[in-house]
Amino acid sequence: MSLMMIVFLFLFLLLMSLAGGVLVFKRHRVLGLILVGVPLAVFAGVFFLYKWFSYETTPQSLDLQVTREGDAYLLEGKWRGRLDPDSFWTDFIVFHLPEGSEVHVTQIKEAKPDPAFYDLTDEVSRVVDQNPNTPDNSQIQMFALKLEKTFQVRFALPDQLRLEDVTIQYVHVVYPPMDPLFYWVKTYNGEVPDPPGYTR
């Protein structure tokens, strides 16, 4: 029996129970309430589970802020709502710099690489290359970040660079079961809106 047949049979039995509850309510109130209440509770539970597992974040779900602290900068991130149920355990911070420059990260909660899963850095590089806020002819430095509701990354730039010379992007990774990985990019002070996401 296929999955669709099971779903249709399940819905048919629920509707029959609901109809039966309405019909017998006048004669047997308790039985009628049970026959009506069970389908309604099941429908409510299925709807709740659907809403929970279909929730998706977007680049607008994350607030990024950079403040200067002496010779260093502090990048702070805060999620506006909850995370995707299928969020990957690792996200990425990507710095785009002029050729020959390097950012020095002094504080970050890095994600530990999982040997059971392949390296995502090549895919993340391809994803940020497609983003309209990615500058041309820049070199990138990428850091794996442990996914948390709030995070901080402290970094320092070479003396000849200003913050305006650097593009900072946050790459969020979602791993839906039995589906390809899904990515979206949030650009700090991006000139154009970031696209809703990329499937690789």
- The SS3 call for residue 157 is coil
Structural domain span for residue 123: 59-199
Closest CA to 168 of 61, 100, 67, 88: 67
27 and 120 in a single domain? The answer is: no
Selection from 51, 41, 52 nearest residue 17 by Cα: 41
Phi, psi of 126 (to 5 degrees): -65, -35
The reply to whether 46 and 123 lie within a common domain is no
Are 94 and 147 in a shared domain? yes
Same domain, 86 and 171: yes
Residues 22 and 81 both lie in one domain: no
Quote the CA–CA distance of 120 and 183 in Å, as a whole number: 11
How do residues 118-136 score in pLDDT, each as one tens digit? 678 889 999 999 999 999 8
Over the stretch 12-63, which tens digit does the pLDDT of each residue have? 666 666 666 666 666 766 666 666 666 666 666 666 665 555 568 899 999 9
Tally of domains in the chain: 2
DSSP code, position 14 = H
Q: Which tokens is 50 given?
A: 């659907």
Q: Do 45 and 63 share a domain, yes or no?
A: no
